Amino acid sequence: MTRWVAGIGSALAVMLTLSGGAGAQDYPNRTVRIIVPFPAGGTADAMPRIVADFLTRKWGQSVIIENRAGAGGNIGGEAAFKSDPDGYTLFAAPPPPLVINQNLYPKLPFDPLQFIPLAVMGKVPNAILTNSPRLKDAKTVADFVAFAKANPGVLNSATQGIGTTAHLTSELFQQMAGVKFQHIHYRGSAPAVQDLVAGNVDVAFDNIGAAGSLIRAGTIRVLGVATENPIASLPGVPTVKATVPGFVVVTWFALVAPPKVPQAIVTKLHADINEALNDPEVKKRLENLSAEVATVSLAETAAFFKAEVETWYTVIKQANVKVEQ
């Protein structure tokens, strides 16, 4: 009897192994959804849509975007984390729910470190954006800093929400430039940019992809870019670090899978997403969002995530950012 039960167990193990392999070989054979933890309209939503279009064509299966906004990306993060680990639910997000929120919130309903990094779709420079009547005479970063120092706490800064990259970038700028803002938190980039255009808020430390067309149209002014060097897409715009030494911040957007997705599916997803990122049409569309696009290995992607956790932890600690639950 014992030998018979052991034989059944061995057979089941073989069947499961074969089943897992077969599942990977015909993946995907139905619709794949990508959860985005912010509203439609911003870069966080636009990037995965571009990649999803390519994957839909490649796979012959629909790849749809599902927006689940709220709680700094945690609502969407939890939904993706707790989804079936079969590769049919993925998660696309900027840093907060992946490498920031675990250092902000006393307790999360998911463990960001357990997500499986698949690829970074693009890295977009952050910039100081304005359309404020109060800053109409501020032509440079130095002018802006001078006004803020002369009027502490008067200017307000729009963010995508507490603990988002726009918020932490703004907090970091305050610390490094020796100024003080009021923060106005929105649910995503799109509503923040809308109020920026209307002149209802003074500045936003947002990525330039979120407002690229508005910048090109002259509706929003860019005082400085938070990059190491000036960028070709914004000729004549100086770096912020020329005035505030060391101030360099970019926002990246990644695709990850929930924990325990089979390695064979992870490998296929990584390869197919990288194929998308290397496609000339996809690359052009992402670069139109001011994104720097590059493909790396799974190991390099995981190492990048680890380094980002440490980087943002330092920013949060130094800026003393708190989130109330």
Q: Is it true that 18-124+252-319 and 125-250 share their CATH fold?
A: yes
Cα 291 to Cα 287: distance, rounded to the nearest angstrom: 5
Instruction: Report helix angle 280-287 to 263-278, nearest 10.
Output: 70
pLDDT at 324: 65
Inter-CA distances, 275 with 91, 278, 282, Å: 18, 5, 10
Q: Provide Rg for the chain, Cα atoms.
A: 22
Q: Which CATH class is domain 125-250?
A: alpha beta
Cα 88 to Cα 321: distance, rounded to the nearest angstrom: 35
The domain segmentation of the chain, as residue ranges, is 18-124+252-319, 125-250
Do the beta carbons of residue 79 and residue 68 sit within 8 Å?
yes
Do the beta carbons of residue 90 and residue 256 sit within 8 Å?
yes
DSSP 98: I
pLDDT at 210: 66
pLDDT at 250: 86
Could you confirm whether domain 18-124+252-319 is CATH 3.40.1390.10? Answer: no
Partnered with residue 67 across adjacent β-strands are 36
pLDDT at 23: 60
pLDDT at 260: 97
pLDDT at 233: 83
Q: Encode 8-42 in three state secondary structure.
A: HHHHHHHHHHHHHHHHHHCCCCCCEEEEECCCCCC
Reading the chain (325 residues) residue by residue, the pLDDT tens digits are 433 333 434 434 444 444 444 467 899 999 999 999 988 988 899 999 999 999 999 999 999 999 999 888 999 999 999 999 999 999 999 999 999 999 999 899 999 999 999 999 999 989 999 999 999 999 999 999 999 999 999 999 999 888 888 899 999 899 899 999 999 998 777 889 999 999 999 999 988 876 778 888 899 999 999 998 998 888 899 999 999 999 998 889 999 999 999 999 999 999 999 999 999 999 999 998 889 999 999 999 999 999 999 988 988 888 788 776 5
Tokens coding 317:
């600690």
Do the beta carbons of residue 274 and residue 117 sit within 8 Å?
no
